Amino acid sequence: MDTFALIPLVSQFPVVYQYHYKGTLLKSQALIVALLTIMEKNTSTTDPSLKELIKLAGYTQKSFAQALNVAYSLVRYYVAGEKMPGVKIFADMCRLLDKSPKQVMAALGIDVSGIPDDQPTDP
């Protein structure tokens, strides 16, 4: 009888597995290294979430809501991506988080591809 089992290779990356098939361990070091590289690249290039930006700025969601002068539940909706702030609240968020509008938009889950960089580049 053929056996097939998935065994986690690295606990931080549960997607990477070693495969046992017909009692033979099929292991490709190059494939594993390539997968780990791709996974690391994907995690390092992702924009921080609004929740992370709030924490990095030294706020809790509750204190951030107080600083914005809005209800705590409203900040929870922003963090969950269920609502989008208006222009005034958005501008206040940028000031409090000390981040550019493009960075805050990305944290809110808005697609910022095609939007020019925040800092102009010299030709």
Please report whether residue 31 resides in a domain.
yes
- Tell whether the model's pLDDT for residue 17 goes beyond 80: no
Please report whether residue 113 resides in a domain.
no
Q: Concatenated DSSP letters for 54-102?
A: HHHTT--HHHHHHHHTS-HHHHHHHHHTS----HHHHHHHHHHHT--HH
Q: How confident is the model at residue 68 (pLDDT cuts 50, 70, 90)?
A: very high
The tokens for 92 are 């206040």
pLDDT tens column, 27-36: 455 556 666 6
pLDDT tens column, 86-99: 999 999 999 999 99
Please report whether residue 21 resides in a domain.
yes
Please report whether residue 114 resides in a domain.
no
Please report whether residue 94 resides in a domain.
yes
- Tell me the residue length of the chain: 123
The tokens for 62 are 């509750």
List Cα–Cα distances, 53 to 13, 64, 81, 116, in angstroms. Answer: 24, 11, 14, 21
Q: What angle do CA 34, 36, 2 make, to 5 degrees?
A: 80
**Domain residue limits at 67:** 50-107
Same domain, 56 and 98: yes
Burial classification of residue 36, based on how many CB atoms lie within 10 Å of its CB (0-12 exposed, 13-18 middle, 19 or more buried): middle
Q: How confident is the model at residue 46 (pLDDT cuts 50, 70, 90)?
A: confident
Please report whether residue 119 resides in a domain.
no
Q: Helices 87-97 and 61-68 meet at what angle, rounded to 10?
A: 120
Q: Which amino acid, residue 89?
A: I
The tokens for 87 are 């222009």
